[in-house]
Chains A and B, each alone.
Chain A
Amino acid sequence: GQQVMQIPQYQHVQEGEDFTTYCNSSTTLSNIQWYKQRPGGHPVFLIQLVKSGEVKKQKRLTFQFGEAKKNSSLHITATQTTDVGTYFCAGPGTGGFKTIFGAGTRLFVKA
């Protein structure tokens, strides 16, 4: 069945270092979304990418959608302690209205 894979599972960084999480889908996606979940919180929508090769920025966060629309990445420049949490990518499931979430990358930032 359709899968959305994410790596790494965990990442420990020193504050100020960069961080990247990668997402790969087994099928071509019409769009991809990214969510952030703080410890003890619920997932919060960050962004949606739709176009092949699309790049979007939100302050220190850069999101990319691959040319083949099967992979995506989230890059954080100069991490801060407020970036701590789990980052999920998600894409539309086939044959319905559901969304398939990746396993998530948990980011730890050491001050």
Chain B
Amino acid sequence: DAKTTQPNSMESNEEEPVHLPCNHSTISGTDYIHWYRQLPSQGPEYVIHGLTSNVNNRMASLAIAEDRKSSTLILHRATLRDAAVYYCILRSESGGGADGLTFGKGTHLIIQP
């Protein structure tokens, strides 16, 4: 499976935008880029996903580089409730083998009041 690389941790201030980077230089043409987050003592929560174009939803925006070798999750105005571990995951359309998602270590986002 194609791997992703994320910073171990990032810190931001409340009410400011947050840009969480993810590198995936070996991404294939059929890999979707998914983002999940895990709040303390909870299960992972879906945030957003995309293939080639930038995507927006009520939680965040996903900016995908033109060559698709990197992407950035954007939280437009962070709140204390956004403090979580954020996972960038590639999910292949071609499938095969075990289904589901392969989680890495993610980025621990710390929000300062």
Do A and B bind? no
- Hey, which bits of chain A sit against chain B, CB under 8 A? none
